[in-house]
Structures are given as C-alpha cells and as structure tokens.
C-alpha cells in the first residue's frame, strides 16, 4: 500500500512539474544570444512611399581570446583579410586571456565575413547585428542625419525618431520595427533640386549651394539640399565644417530678399501704399555710414518701384518711417528673432542686433546686419505670400495640418500685394528676377546679393547670391529658395556675381523641372497680374 502511495506521489509530482514549466524557457534556450544589443528602427519613406532608410542585418566579428590558439597566426591571417586592422592593437587585445568578448569589426560586408570565416581561426566568431542602410546615399543626407554604432539615432531625423517614436533594443534577430516614418520630402523634387544646384555650382564656379522647396500653406518641406552633400552612412562627414547644412545649420546675411519683409511691413501698417512716392535720389546717412543705391534711377520711386529696382535707400526709408519698435515687433511676429527647430534638429540661432538704432534699422531693411538660417527666412516669407498666416516648417508629412493655420501676421490684402510685386519682379523688364521666369508657371520672386563679412569689413567679390521664388503666383503654393555661395563671374553669368545672373536662372530651371512633378499645370493665356 505504501509503495502505491509513493508511486502516486511521484506521478503527481511529475504532473505538477510538467504543468508548471512553460514553453518559454525552451524557446529562450533556442533563441537567446548573450552580448550587446542593437536597436530596431522604423523605415523612413518619402511622401510617395519611396524608401530612404532601412535596417539590414550584417555580421559583426568578435573574438574570445581564451579560445585563440596561436596569437601570431591569428593576427597575421586576419590582417591578410582585414587590411586596415591595426595588427599591433589586435595582438594586444587578443593576448588578454581574461577577456571573453572583444569586438573586432562591426558591420562587415557579407563577402568579407565569408573570407574571415574561410580562415577557420579558432576564437573568432560572428554575431548578426542591425545596421542602417541609406540606399539613396547623399540625396538627403543632411535631413536624415545618422545613427551610432548601436543603430541609435545620433542626429537629424534619425535622432527625432528616437526621441518621439522610440526604438526597441534587439539581440540580433530583426523584430517588428513598427510603422514606417513618412517624411514630407518628395524624392523627385529633391533630386531635381540637387541636380540643378550641382550644375549651378559648376556653371558659376561657386564654393557651395543650397536650396529648399516648401509648401507655403502647410510648411511641409518637399526638398532640402545643401552642397557639398553628406552620406549619412559616413557620420564623420556630418561633422565636417565644410559640409555644414546651409539650410538650417548656418546663418547668413541674405541681402535684398529681406526687402520682401520690409515692403510687407510698410504696406501692412498702412504707412505706405504701392503707389506712395519716396525720394530715393539722396543717400541715407547713419553715423559714419552712407547708404546709397548701386544703380540709382536718379528719380523718386514708388514703393512698388523700390521693390522692383531693389532700392536700398527706399527700403531704409520705409523701415525708418515704421520705427525701431515696430520693425522689431514685425521681425518677432515672423519668428526671425528666436531659435526654432525642425525634426532635422535645431535651426541655427538668428543673429539680430540687441538694439535697433538708425543704422541697424536701415541695414536690416535690405538684409544686412541680421543673419538668419535660410529655412527660417523661408518660413517667414511663406507667411507673407500664403495669405498672411505663419507656418511651422516640418519634415514630417501632415504634421501641421492638424493644428489649422498659424497666427496671422499680415492681412490678406498685403499678402496679395506682395504676390503681385513678386510676380512683376519676374515678369516685367525692369524687375531683377526676369531670368527666373518659366513660361506658363507664373513665377514670382526676389533677388538677393549679399556681400560676405570678412577681415576688414564686407568683401565685394565674395557674395551669397540668392533667389526666393514662389509659384504659381495667382494662388501661391510652393516656395523655392536657391542660394549660391561665393559664385564667380563666369561666362554663364556675363562676368557678374549678381543674383539676377546666377541664382534667378537657377531657380527658374528648378521650377521648370519640379512644377510638373508637383502637378502644377502650365497656363499660357493667363493675363498679367495688375498692381
């Protein structure tokens, strides 16, 4: 009887053990891998669903020094495959028999991994890790940013993904990375912009170029290019000061494109109308400085003509008539006096004088003495031409639509007046932007040629040429901003460095390519817009 009781007790115990042990331990024993981890990241797509970044598995090589049999043989033979491996350092690492795990090379190509595997060296092992792949190379490098060796976001959109969406750690095997991140960028537009800017750099023998395309109603960035470009797969390039993102990583005095804001301020306050006449025949004085027009017309000009002739004196007079407080308030409203950020990172802080004296008021009116990032200026100008409401620049699709239009900064009437002036500046012979015209697409825009500061003051021959364009001007939808850094007077620009000769035609070429991609239809019988 006792024997039977023991038997039953044994069977009950076994039943309890089987019931208590789940399958997790067995599965874990099959799949678990010890060691460091990498992070699973979501794919990044453009607005059309085309792939910009994805995770791929790659083998990483590590060593267990306690299992290495011949130090000399291992060092020599591994060095014959991995040529850039420091053999002295490798020898030092492998001679430490107390360590069980040393990374030798992370993210090997499959071909190299196979060659190392074929060596058959004891103590060398592989572990699969996730690495970020950027199949489009340098096309949107500054915007995408980079990841670190563990596949965590280090800069740009990649870092924003970590901060806002979050990334999950993994032990080699890929898991679900969640929904892809869809950007506002359009690959076709991005490519066309980059292609034209590269051609412009060669044509005008310039040191750099940058450009952006923005939807003026939503603030969505359809393209953002800064040349020389960077490859996000080579994070060191992002740290190269010569390859800074000129769109949002640097501030520049942008010159006469600022007159868009000055004229908008004057018209919106009611102190001037498009046909108000200003006596611009005499230079303006401010302390020891004298401000005069490069190509004076020798007669008084209306406010419209001040814009079309790009008169520095006229712009300065409009700013002085407004007053320092109102001018600063207007810059504040447009967000030009505070630092902004986008999903690609912080925008370089604007440099604005602490106090607006007479000289500062005049120079800011024509875009000197104030330095802002091109993206920040583009966002402010978008508000001027979209009907008068602020937009927040964004690289994520549909992010700003949910919040509705931003605060109003100017009236719809003023916005309309500026659209007319911008169109006239391209369409009329007296305008400075005639070379930006693209038949049928109703382009408007303003030139800016700003001398760059250097030792002993501004340098006449070292300029940033820019053209801020918008189209179609009967209902502005897209803003195109092109900047050419330190162009030379080449045959293509008739020996001049003025924006009307280099940045304006480049913007026209860009618009000619992207307008069909964006679904803007040419209209060839449109009547000329009236003032």
Chain residues that interact with other proteins, rule: CB under 8 A: 4, 7-8, 11, 14-15, 18, 23, 26-27, 30-31, 43, 50-52, 54-57, 133, 135-137, 139, 173-174, 187-188, 190-191, 195
Residue placing its CB nearer to other proteins in the complex, 4 or 402:
4
Residue placing its CB nearer to other proteins in the complex, 173 or 294:
173
Tokens of 512: 């000619």
Residue placing its CB nearer to other proteins in the complex, 10 or 495:
10
Distance between CA atoms of residues 461 and 439, nearest Å: 32
Distance of closest approach, residue 43 Cβ to other proteins, in angstroms: 8
Distance of closest approach, residue 215 Cβ to other proteins, in angstroms: 20
> Cα 300 vs. chain centroid, distance in angstroms?
42
- Percent helix, percent strand, percent coil in the chain, to nearest 5: 35, 20, 40
Distance between CA atoms of residues 31 and 357, nearest Å: 71
3-state secondary structure of 151: coil
Of 206, 256, 310, 466, catalytic = 256
Distance of closest approach, residue 193 Cβ to other proteins, in angstroms: 11
- Strands lying side by side in the sheet with 444-454: 221-227, 208-215, 478-485, 457-471, 444-454
3-state secondary structure of 170: strand
Sort strands 153-155 and 146-147 into parallel, antiparallel or unpaired: antiparallel
Residue placing its CB nearer to other proteins in the complex, 57 or 96:
57
Residue placing its CB nearer to other proteins in the complex, 187 or 267:
187
Residue pair 90/81 in contact (Cβ under 8 Å)? The answer is no
Distance of closest approach, residue 266 Cβ to other proteins, in angstroms: 43
Q: What is the DSSP letter of 284?
A: E
Tokens of 32: 């678990």
Residue placing its CB nearer to other proteins in the complex, 13 or 407:
13
End-to-end CA distance of the chain: 113
Distance between CA atoms of residues 217 and 228, nearest Å: 29
Residue pair 264/414 in contact (Cβ under 8 Å)? The answer is yes
- 417 in catalytic set: no
Distance between CA atoms of residues 438 and 415, nearest Å: 22
Residues involved in catalysis: 256
């Amino acid at each position: 009887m006792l024997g039977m009781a023991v038997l039953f007790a044994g069977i009950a115990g076994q039943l309890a053990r089987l019931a208590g042990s789940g399958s997790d331990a067995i599965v874990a024993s099959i799949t678990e891998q010890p060691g460091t981890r990498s992070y699973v990241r979501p794919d990044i797509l453009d607005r059309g669903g085309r792939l910009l970044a994805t995770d791929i598995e790659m083998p990483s090589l590590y060593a267990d020094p306690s299992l290495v049999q011949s130090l000399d043989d291992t060092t020599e033979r591994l060095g014959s495959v991995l040529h850039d491996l420091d053999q002295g350092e490798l020898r030092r690492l492998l001679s430490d028999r107390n360590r069980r795990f040393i990374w030798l090379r992370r993210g090997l190509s499959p071909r190299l991994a196979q060659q190392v595997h074929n060596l058959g060296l004891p103590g060398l092992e592989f572990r699969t890790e996730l690495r970020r792949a950027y199949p489009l190379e340098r096309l949107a490098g500054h915007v995408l940013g980079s990841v670190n060796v563990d596949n965590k976001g280090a800069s740009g959109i990649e870092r924003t993904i970590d901060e806002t969406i979050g990334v999950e750690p993994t032990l080699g095997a890929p898991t679900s990375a969640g929904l892809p991140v869809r950007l506002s960028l359009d690959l076709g537009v991005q490519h066309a912009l980059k292609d034209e800017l590269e051609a412009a750099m060669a044509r005008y023998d310039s040191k750099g170029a940058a450009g952006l395309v923005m939807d003026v109603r939503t603030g969505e960035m359809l393209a953002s290019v800064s040349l020389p470009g960077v490859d996000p797969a080579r994070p060191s390039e992002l740290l190269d000061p010569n390859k800074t993102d000129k769109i949002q990583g640097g501030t520049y005095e942008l010159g006469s494109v600022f007159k868009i804001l000055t004229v908008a301020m004057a018209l919106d306050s009611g102190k001037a109308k498009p046909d108000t006449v200003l006596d611009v025949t005499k230079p303006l004085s401010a302390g020891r400085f004298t401000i005069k027009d490069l190509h004076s017309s020798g007669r008084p000009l209306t406010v419209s003509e001040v814009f079309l002739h790009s008169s520095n004196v006229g712009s300065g007079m409009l700013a002085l008539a407004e007053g320092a407080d109102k001018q600063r308030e207007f810059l504040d409203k447009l967000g030009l006096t505070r630092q902004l950020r986008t999903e690609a990172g912080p925008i370089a802080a604007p440099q604005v004088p602490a106090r607006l004296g007479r000289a500062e008021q005049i120079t800011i009116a024509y875009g000197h003495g104030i330095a802002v990032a091109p993206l920040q200026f583009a966002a402010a100008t978008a508000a001027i031409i979209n009907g008068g409401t602020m937009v927040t620049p964004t690289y994520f699709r549909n992010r700003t639509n949910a919040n509705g239009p931003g605060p109003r900064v100017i009236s719809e009437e003023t916005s309309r007046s500026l659209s007319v002036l911008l169109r006239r500046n391209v369409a009329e012979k007296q305008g400075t932007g005639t070379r930006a015209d693209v038949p049928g697409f109703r382009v408007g825009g303003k030139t800016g040629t700003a001398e760059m500061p250097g030792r002993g003051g501004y340098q006449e021959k070292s300029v940033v040429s820019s053209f801020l364009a918008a189209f179609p001007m009967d209902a502005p939808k897209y803003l195109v901003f092109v900047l050419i850094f330190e162009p030379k007077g080449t045959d293509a620009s008739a020996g001049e460095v003025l924006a009307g000769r280099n940045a304006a035609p480049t913007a026209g070429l860009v618009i000619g390519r992207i307008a069909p991609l964006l679904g803007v239809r040419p209209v060839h019988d449109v009547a000329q817009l009236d003032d």
